[in-house]
Amino acid sequence: MGEFVRVEVRDGIGTIRLERPPMNALNSVVQEELRAAAQAVTADPEVRAVIVYGGDKVFAAGADIKEMADMSYVDMADRAVELSGALGAIARIPKPVVAAITGYALGGGCELALACDWRVVADDAKLGQPEIKLGIIPGAGGTQRLSRLVGPARAKDIILSGRMVDAQEALRIGLADRVVPADQVYAEAVALVTPYVKGPAQAVRAAKLAIDGGLEMDLASGLAWESQLFAALFATDDRREGMAAFVAKRKPDFTGR
């Protein structure tokens, strides 16, 4: 659908694929194409789950430093908001989203992976936020999403050192959810999200909204948000079908409505 990012839909799964060799650097064009891809899979009722994939060699090795090198504060003050918003669009996809990571997921590439719900990582992959070595910090969610995922102490270690995290450490600290051989990464990502393809799409959406939204609230507000989403599902066909199937002791046939 774009010069460097395309969307493929098969069997209810939309794959957002980065294709900017050699390292899938996230320049401004890629960022905006990711935003458009997120909007496309969100709007497509045929897409029930999403995979973000950089190919069998590399996920994404960061932002395009050549593009950024001569930018001033004034230049970046505007661009930083757009960069964060592009990856935020991935995070806001109201469907299950998994990053399928091969090679490197560094800098903006790691932030792209953090915007997904899960991360399937090749056993020889490296992840990290090396921005500190350039005299900057992560600017597209790294300081916020990484600390929420692995805790502030581990996030500070990774971000302040700029070091790379191997797959086994990533799995141990919760940065990776599954680690498999590199040639199995995409297939494992498909296996992870396939159960959601035939699920109750509105309930899946509500659960994701409840969890992600609740993380930004105090407990009382989060509980109120959960109650609102819970009650709203009683207006869906899938709620009626799910409960009717339970009573009748049969398998539900969800339609996503």
Complete domains list, the chain, with CATH: 5-197 (3.90.226.10), 201-248 (1.10.12.10)
| pLDDT by 10s per residue, the chain, length 257 | 789 999 999 999 999 999 999 999 999 999 999 999 999 999 999 999 999 999 999 999 887 788 888 888 988 888 888 888 999 999 999 999 999 999 999 999 999 999 999 999 999 999 999 999 999 999 999 999 999 999 999 999 999 999 999 999 999 999 999 999 999 999 999 999 999 999 999 999 999 999 999 999 999 999 999 999 999 999 999 999 999 999 999 999 999 89
111 is catalytic: yes
Instruction: Given the residues 32, 131, 188, 226, select the one marked as catalytic.
Output: 131
Residue 133 near residue 159 (C-beta atoms within 8 A): no
pLDDT at 67: 82
pLDDT at 108: 95
Residue 248 near residue 224 (C-beta atoms within 8 A): no
Note the pTM of the prediction, 2 decimals.
0.94
Element (H, E) at 179: strand 178-180
Instruction: Given the residues 37, 38, 61, 63, select the one marked as catalytic.
Output: 63
Cα–Cα distance for residue pair 13/24, rounded to 1 Å: 22
Q: CB under 8 Å to 15, separation ≥6 — which residues?
A: 7, 8, 9, 50, 51, 52, 53
pLDDT at 74: 87
Cα–Cα distance for residue pair 13/101, rounded to 1 Å: 17
131 is catalytic: yes
Closest CA to 177 of 130, 87, 112, 116: 116
pLDDT at 64: 77
63 is catalytic: yes
Instruction: Given the residues 12, 108, 109, 128, select the one marked as catalytic.
Output: 108
pLDDT at 77: 84
Instruction: Given the residues 32, 111, 188, 226, select the one marked as catalytic.
Output: 111
pLDDT at 72: 87
